[in-house]
Amino acid sequence: MTLGRNDLCWCGSGKKYKSCHLAFDQKIDLFRDKGHIVPSHDIIKSKEDIEGIKASAKINIACLDYVAEHIRAGISTQDIDDWVSKITAEMGGIPATLGYEGYPKSCCTSINDEVCHGIPSEDVILQDGDIINVDCSTILNGYFSDSSRMFIIGETTPEKKKLVEDVKKAVEIGLAEIKPWRFLGDMGSAINEFCKSQGYEVVVDIGGHGCGLEFHEEPWVSYVSKPGTEMLMVPGMCFTVEPMVNLGRHEIFQDEDNGWTIYTEDGSPSAQWEVQIVVTEDGYEMITY
């Protein structure tokens, strides 16, 4: 970085560097010098970016709110995809998954032992006792939003119900650790410790991600990390908190036929909630849920 103090700041604010992000960059340099992983400027969102991401998020939240009101036993997961597709289009957005690396649908619907990336299908009919994650992501004017929620269909077993509730709690425990100038590992380890205390295992091989100007940006976010490790969190960073938590062992495998769906290796149920946040000057702000 060779910006002079009186040059315009890299963030696009139109202010001089010395009265905008100079102190911010100097603080990041201190952490870099100590050997920490620090964010690059291209993942720091401007105020304008955050407004754009929030507008996209309105569509994402509307889709999941609609699913919450209408999901029930007897519908197919294709019905869910149709709702998401219709609402997103009506509100002027584009489902981010549709066509992403060849993915064929507008959302993901992952049931019971499916960890993530379940593909909606007319042949998959929701049954009483199922637990299902519906994961939506939206593009609006080039801005990306992403979140997922769990739904219990009718009555399920006490173990599956507790898993669903506990993973939501795990996300809240992780969110409480999100503060600027602390580390992603502080958040990840808080989630992992809570899940372990309840006898669960957190999926190791798939994590969260930066999101906003791209669907998947830096950093990759682990939920089994250690305090004081992983990337430094700074204001303007936007990423997902989305632990995948298994009732049994953490190992997973991918469906060889469709190339997408991830299952638990031991067949145990899995649950996930996903929110997207932006780090602020004193904590975080929720963007999607």
CB atoms within 10 A of CB 222: 24
Which segment (9-17, 44-52, 102-110, 135-143) binds Zn ion by CB under 5 A? 9-17
| Dist. CA 185–CA 163, nearest whole Å | 23
Contact status: 28 vs Zn ion (CB under 5 A): no
Nearer to Zn ion, 47 or 70 (CB): 47
Contact status: 11 vs Zn ion (CB under 5 A): yes
Nearer to Zn ion, 52 or 208 (CB): 52
Instruction: For residue 201, report the phi and psi dihedrals to the nearest 5 degrees.
Output: -125, 135
Nearest alpha carbon to residue 215 among 137, 270, 281? 137
Q: Minimum Å distance from CB 224 to Zn ion? A: 34
Q: Minimum Å distance from CB 10 to Zn ion? A: 6
| Dist. CA 243–CA 205, nearest whole Å | 11
Q: Minimum Å distance from CB 21 to Zn ion? A: 4
Instruction: For residue 178, report the phi and psi dihedrals to the nearest 5 degrees.
Output: -85, 110
Total residues contacting Zn ion (rule CB under 5 A)? 5
- State which of residues 20, 28, 134, 191 lies at the interface with Zn ion (CB under 5 A): 20
Q: Minimum Å distance from CB 108 to Zn ion? A: 36
Contact status: 78 vs Zn ion (CB under 5 A): no
Binding mask 237-266 for Zn ion (x = CB under 5 A): ------------------------------
Q: Minimum Å distance from CB 99 to Zn ion? A: 35
Which segment (2-10, 101-109, 174-182, 265-273) binds Zn ion by CB under 5 A? 2-10
Nearest alpha carbon to residue 213 among 44, 68, 98? 44
Nearer to Zn ion, 10 or 31 (CB): 10
**E strand map for 71-166:** 94-95, 108-111, 114-116, 131-140, 143-152
Hey, what are 75's tokens?
Answer: 């519908």
CA angle (129, 252, 170) in 5-degree steps: 65
Which segment (5-13, 63-71, 177-185, 217-225) binds Zn ion by CB under 5 A? 5-13
Q: In what order do the strands lie in the sheet with 238-241?
A: 217-221, 208-210, 238-241, 275-279, 284-288
Q: Minimum Å distance from CB 49 to Zn ion? A: 12
- State which of residues 21, 54, 117, 250 lies at the interface with Zn ion (CB under 5 A): 21
Q: Minimum Å distance from CB 13 to Zn ion? A: 5
Contact status: 163 vs Zn ion (CB under 5 A): no
**CA dist list (Å): 7 to 39, 43, 44, 216:** 22, 21, 19, 31
Q: Minimum Å distance from CB 230 to Zn ion? A: 25
Contact status: 13 vs Zn ion (CB under 5 A): yes
Q: In what order do the strands lie in the sheet with 262-264?
A: 114-116, 262-264, 252-254
Positions in the binding site for Zn ion (CB under 5 A):
9, 11, 13, 20-21
